Structure 1
């Protein structure tokens, strides 16, 4: 196993919810915002393939300073610096090596195809990653697709009929707004964009007057993060955080009618379905959009309670280490980066496991922990496995049982 260099510590600051931030809200333009949580010196990227421990330890860092808008409920990192981001083919975001995730993706694709009669249509995906979901929509519905993502890698494109899907290794922008589509999909991308109103307005302008063109977005759901004190779901790449209400309000202000708002994937993902508003009375808000009164005390609860959660995890992991118990993390993505760097962990965690073969023998940004394949568990059997995402617990249990390993399994939030 590769040795681990000392981790660079981060600083977590508890901020009162009445701290006024005299900046306009990127979603609605209101001011001031209220700051409630800050983490200093976190890695600017979480899922870049970093080939050496030295590169991982020295990777550029930025600050997280979360503030929320009392007018619309949007939460943003006011310390975000987009110049620190470097989205490219080194970006390894895919979850397509997990049967659990693939089953969710297929179920979602089938639902959208059936709900919106996506057969023989043109589908445009903003932030298509490696192209898996777009390929599913096109394959299952005999649709045509075009996907945009600077992290797209041609040789890893899913197999589809010749000419059925076109990929553009670039950010979607106004430069491509003349490309017409029947269905616009954007999964796990809006949270990476800070000027969210500008972005959604750009999408609305691209849709134009095609009143039947459906827009579907999927993003992390922020209410769960606050309720569950999930500090591991707060990281630099995610500069924008939405609840159902703040997302619905943004789309309405941008000229859409909101058809539905719902959560899935163990309530981790928030979905919105919308149509362009082309005149007449706009559809009234959905009941789930009425969440401002709940959000305000939740931000205070998060601010006041997270320091206790951090201390709990530091004490627990220190005890495992002192008792010579080998602890590993399962999941080498953004949650692991936030968990390790926010806690300032080093030798307490032996290594990180991930099922994505493209992450094998790479290193966690900020902490330098080694990422390896599940087969390595046979070489250095763990006593404790911390599951970064509890939705994968059953899948992980089966993989451990197949190797005749029975460590203590601790899903986060459990």
Structure 2
């Protein structure tokens, strides 16, 4: 549930200058959303944590002030890839092409921090004939063993840290990882120290865009692993105060992703952090509790109506958004299954709710009345799959 804006003595881990003001709380939240669990019992008994989102008026950063990294698990059981979606593959390919062209990434050394299953690093190396090193404790090297760039890529199953500063690169990329890191200021300082005196070295970071989450009350995008939430203002501040000049801050993928391109500068070239107006962002934070409660009640009423009508409801998308959605509502009498096209997720159970994950073909027999799509960007792709299966349920997209 949400609570009124309140002061908290917790210091902002992004700028180390402001104090976090708590504006949203959630209890009994699964501490991992993408973990593969083999039984309903294991899923329902999976450890849970608490979320207390705080807002920093100094830099605009939002963080779960009660986050405990010891509760999260990033291992071979962590299945986060979106690479089985044609929609996502097109986005990934265009992004790789754009970065290669803009930054002249040809026969260069690239480091990817938080490389996941390695698909994007492999793309950069394939399209630009680059050499790549990927860091991620959950990487599965077997998935790329037959890749044509296997000889030009190496993967280290560990978190990127100071101990890997000897791995130099011409370009650093970090996608959908910074939001999982609590001390963001310290982490970006680590990256800058690793670059050292190689001023001009470029970095590219991509994370969820949080202004949209606040504006649209996107409760499905608030979950435990995401301990850090960035807006354009707080992201720019983070890099400028840690020895980078910002080249571009933009949104992509239907404005769901926030990206930054920056390059390392010397101490003599350092300039004051850009002064930005946070009034609009502060207003969104202040009104979030009331708007969150209204949207939550609206959705619960809708689910209750489906249950009373005996309608079969499934969620499409078995990742973090589904776990967050099911954590916010009483869905036991309504949602029996979640569908996902990722074959590695199928046959497993969602943390918290224990709801089983099935493949799309399962729906031909189940015949759902309502399909709730966890991410509207995939509506066309999912609608085509439902048509292919001969199904015409009511579709609702978050």
TM-score bucket (shorter structure)? over 0.9
Cα separation, partners in 2 of 1:207 and 1:114, compared to 1, 3 Å: same
Deviations 1:223-253 (A, max 9, x none): 0000001111100000000000000001011
Match of 1:166 in 2: 154
Deviation at 1:281, TM superposition (A): 4.1
2:170 to 182, 198, 221: 182
Aligned equivalents of 1:411 and 1:91: distance in 2?
25
1:376 to 346, 362, 375: 362
Range that drifts further, 120-129 or 275-284: 275-284
2:255 to 256, 267, 285: 267
Contact 1:213 1:275 in 2 (8 A): yes
Contact 2:122 2:149 in 1 (8 A): no
State the TM-score, normalizing by the size of structure 1. 0.94
Residue 402, structure 1, aligned to residue 388, structure 2: yes
Aligned equivalents of 2:273 and 2:101: distance in 1?
24
Aligned equivalents of 1:96 and 1:239: distance in 2?
24
Match of 2:65 in 1: 78
Match of 1:26 in 2: 13
- Where does 1:13-412 land on structure 2 (aligned, <5 Å)? 14-17=2-5, 19-157=6-144, 159-282=147-270, 290-412=276-398
- Structure 1's unaligned 5+ residue stretches are 1-11
Aligned equivalents of 2:150 and 2:185: distance in 1?
36
Tell me the C-alpha RMSD between the 2 structures: 1.3
- Structure 2's unaligned 5+ residue stretches are none
Contact 1:22 1:31 in 2 (8 A): no
Aligned equivalents of 2:84 and 2:194: distance in 1?
33
Range that drifts further, 23-32 or 243-252: 23-32
Contact 1:258 1:283 in 2 (8 A): no
Range that drifts further, 214-223 or 338-347: 338-347
Deviation at 1:290, TM superposition (A): 3.1
Q: SS at 2:111's partner residue?
A: strand
Deviations 1:242-298 (A, max 9, x none): 000000001011110000000000100000000001144446777xx8351111000
Aligned equivalents of 1:291 and 1:128: distance in 2?
34
Aligned equivalents of 2:354 and 2:116: distance in 1?
25
| Number of residue-to-residue matches in the alignment | 397
Aligned equivalents of 2:336 and 2:14: distance in 1?
41
Cα separation, partners in 2 of 1:270 and 1:311, compared to 1, 3 Å: same
Aligned equivalents of 1:106 and 1:267: distance in 2?
18
Contact 1:191 1:239 in 2 (8 A): yes
Q: SS at 2:10's partner residue?
A: coil
Cα separation, partners in 2 of 1:162 and 1:250, compared to 1, 3 Å: closer
Deviations 1:7-37 (A, max 9, x none): xxxxx1x2222x1110110011124321100
Q: SS at 1:350's partner residue?
A: strand
Aligned equivalents of 1:326 and 1:143: distance in 2?
49
Q: SS at 1:86's partner residue?
A: coil
Q: SS at 2:154's partner residue?
A: strand
Contact 1:332 1:354 in 2 (8 A): yes
State the TM-score, normalizing by the size of structure 2. 0.98
Aligned equivalents of 1:160 and 1:402: distance in 2?
33
Deviations 1:313-343 (A, max 9, x none): 1110110111111110000000000000111
Deviation at 1:161, TM superposition (A): 3.1
Deviation at 1:157, TM superposition (A): 1.8
Aligned equivalents of 1:106 and 1:74: distance in 2?
30
